[in-house]
Structures are given as C-alpha cells and as structure tokens.
Amino acid sequence: MALDNNQARFVVGVSRATGLDPRVLVAWIQQEGANAPNGTGGYNYLNLSKGNGNVGEVSTSKRFANFGNVDASIESTVRRLNNPFARPILATARARGNPSQQIAAIAATGWDAAGYGGPGGPNLRNTFSALFTPAALTGQALGPEAAGGVASTAGTKSAADWTSYDAKNLGTDLSIKSPLDFLKKLLEPELWLRIGQVIGGAILLGMGLFLLMRQIGLAAPTTPLAAIAAAA
C-alpha cells in the first residue's frame, strides 16, 4: 500500500501528536478502508463517527464524518484518541509498546465494533504483518521521529522502504553520540551479538580457506601430535 500525499501527512501528523508507531497507523488506515471504493472518504482515514467534537467536519457519509482537508482530519483524530475510552492506546504508544501491543490496545477500545477480529486485533495484526513482516509485530517500536520515512516509503518496495528496514532487522541504533552513550552501548546485547557474529564468521572463513588450500596442496600438512611425541 503506497500512501498518497494526504495519507502520508495524516500518518506523520497523528504519530507526532500521539506517539503511535507510524507503521501501526499505516496498517490501521488500510484496515479501516475509508479511501477504498464506497468507503467513507472525506479525509476520514480512521472512520471517525460524525460529531463528537470533530473539527472541520463539512458533511457526513452515513454515520461517519467528512472533513474539508487533512489537517482537520488530523486534529479530529488526535482529539478522539485523547478521549477517555482511547487513552490506553496513547499510554501504550508513549510507553513504546511494540506494534503488537499497540494494536491490541486499539482493538480493546472498541474503535471497531468487532475488535478487529477479536482479542489482540488479529485482523489488524495480519494487515500490519502483510505490510511490514510478521517479525516487526514484536520488534522494537518506531517513534514519531520515524514517521516521515515510514509515510514516504511504505508500500513502495523501494530500497528505503521501511518494510525492508524491518525485514533486515536494522532497527537497532548502534551509533555513538557521547562517552556516556558509548558505555551504554557496551552493555547492549545487540552489540556483543554482532561482534560474536563477525568473529564467528571470520573463524569459519579461515577454516574453510585452510581446508581448501590443503585440499589442493597449497597448505603444508600438519604433523600429528603422536608423531611429534615419538620423535622427542
């Protein structure tokens, strides 16, 4: 699903105002299908019901609001998410719960009458997995700072697509910004895992080259320890 400009602005605006993982928002607006044929339309990407404190509502489609522009949709959506019934969504997002936890919080609020398929929101989870891989569901949450990148590349299958980003498990930031940051990085298991992978790979490569050279007669044969002991 490649986002159009207004959908991308919506994802960025709502993520920055709420802390929601922008990938969760991309999956959520696809699941709601407001812009699908016969959908709600009117920039109402999460199918907000009419009234209820909406800003810039210009008309209605059945029981749903239509907005005059995407900015009104962003403001109205953020207002709705700050209503008491939806606050668990914001609490989970601001605690940097992973995408699976954020989706479960959305499903539990009753935003969708069927809870997106039941406890945990399996239908919304499946939509997320199709867009960003199943592994990304329980991976590290992305914050609002990533919203621009996600919104501009989601579904494009480009080299910078955030689907590829998660599939390759490159979400861990190992950059060093200060001496204290350096000490913190030394304690991160991801760093030592990568070091171990590099060392292990080098050892295996060396052994492989040695065996290959020995096979073709370029490496000197090793002398058995028993022969060395007998000679002594």
pLDDT tens string 95-145: 999 999 999 999 999 999 899 999 999 999 999 999 999 999 999 999 999
How high is the pLDDT of residue 55? 83
Q: What's the CA gap between 12 and 25, in Å, rounded? A: 9
Is residue 32 predicted with pLDDT exceeding 60? yes
pLDDT tens string 180-219: 555 655 666 656 766 877 898 789 888 888 888 877 776 5
Is residue 2 predicted with pLDDT exceeding 60? yes
How high is the pLDDT of residue 40? 79
How high is the pLDDT of residue 219? 54
Buried b (16+ CB within 10 A) or exposed e, 163-186: bbbbeeeeeeeeeeeeeeeeeebe
Report residue 165 as tokens: 């980003």
How many Å is the Cα radius of gyration of the chain?
Answer: 26
157 vs 200 pLDDT, higher one: 200
pLDDT band for 24, please (50, 70, 90 cuts): very high
How high is the pLDDT of residue 170? 27
Is residue 72 predicted with pLDDT exceeding 80? yes
The burial class, CB within 10 Å (0-12 / 13-18 / 19+), for 192 is exposed
How high is the pLDDT of residue 164? 28
How high is the pLDDT of residue 171? 33
